[in-house]
Amino acid sequence: MKFPHIVRYFSVALLLMTFSELSSAEEIRTGVLRTPDSRFENLSGYNFQPHYLNISGFRVHYIDEGPSDGEVILMLHGEPSWSYLYRKMIPIFTEAGYRSIAPDLIGFGRSDKPIDMDVHTYQFHVDTQTALINELGLTNITFVGQDWGGLIGLRIVAENEAAFSRVAIANTGLPDPAADPIADDSAFMRWKRGNQVMIERGDIDTGRMLARNSGDPSVRVAYDAPFPDPSYKAGPLIMPQRVPVTPDYPGATENAAAWEVFKRWEKPFLTSFSDSDPITAPWLDRFLKEIPGAKNQPHSTIEGAGHFLQEQKGEEWAQLIVQFLQANPDH
């Protein structure tokens, strides 16, 4: 009569052992998690071959599509998204003959995920993405960025001018609070305060955020995929707090130095902001007024799109970028 109970006991014990082993396998070393590859299988519209580099001890994922000798378009995503965000744009670039590189920031997508928020500084992401560019030997780059992709990428462009030939941005900024203060009642500061509540709660609903903003419920699974549980979300949770909002904030001095570079930047510079993104809209004018390379370019407002315009108008933005590249050939 006791035998069935023994079977059940060992079955439960085996199950618990299995879960324990799976859990420990995801922590590749103390304080660093790696999302199981199975979570990225069968995502709608996403069939790109993964590529990896070791950067500062972290496995960093990137998409690399198109001809290996094509001019490089480097796309950086922001928070809380990942390279999946560019899936609608990459085929258009490939068809036009360009090589598309779209990394996942450390802490996002298929890249490794430090669980300590202190790792995720502005400088850390600038340094690790710069290292990826150097490791791949990329030159003659057209930089494409949105959200934190712009904050990080524009710093990299300014600090590595010779590697870049053009810039095309949307819904982003390069905050320089000493020269351009951020109002306390701005949409960004309201978002920052709301994000602090998420940090205190210990979670950010990445999938629902992207689904709601894009109006497409089907993308929720893809934006939840990198994060099996909240312990994986240190990067998405803390990044809004890393935006420099006062002159003494980490990153503010470096951003001011980057602006000095852009004030004399003569290379082609294109903006394509959405018509419905109040968070980044205040940052647009400075790009247009102060960057010489932005003069006489076909800047546009993409209608019917919110913050994550790659989801709603990705094809349209990609076509605008292709036209921009063709009108501004590298010499």
- Ranges of each domain in the chain: 40-327
In this predicted model, what pLDDT tens digit does every residue of 217-244 receive, in sequence order? Answer: 999 999 999 999 999 999 999 999 999 9
CA dihedral angle for residue 253, residue 136, residue 102, residue 225, rounded to 10 degrees: -100
Q: Would the pLDDT of 19 be above 50?
A: no
**Cα separations (Å) of 106 from 92, 98, 113, 145?**
26, 25, 6, 16
Q: What are phi and psi of 108, to 5 degrees?
A: -135, 160
Between CA 232 and CA 34 the distance in angstroms is 8
| Confidence grade of residue 331 (pLDDT, cut at 50, 70, 90) | low
Catalytic positions: 147, 277, 307
Lowest mean pLDDT among 13-27, 208-222, 233-247: 13-27
List the end-to-end C-alpha distance of the chain, in Å, as a whole number: 85
Helix/strand number for the chain, H first, E second: 11, 10
Q: How many CA atoms lie within 13 A of 248 on its CB side?
A: 0
Instruction: Please list, residue by residue across 142-180, b when 16 or more beta carbons sit within 10 angstroms of its beta carbon and e when fewer do.
Output: bbbbbbbbbbbbbbbbbeeeebbbbbbbbbbbbbbbeeb
Can you say whether the dihedral through the CA atoms of 138, 91, 46, 218 is positive or negative? positive
Which architecture does CATH list for 40-327?
3-Layer(aba) Sandwich (3.40)
Residue 137 three-state SS: coil
The pTM assigned to this predicted structure is 0.92
Per-residue pLDDT at 330: 81
Are 325 and 95 in contact, with CB atoms under 8 Å apart? no
Q: Would the pLDDT of 101 be above 60?
A: yes
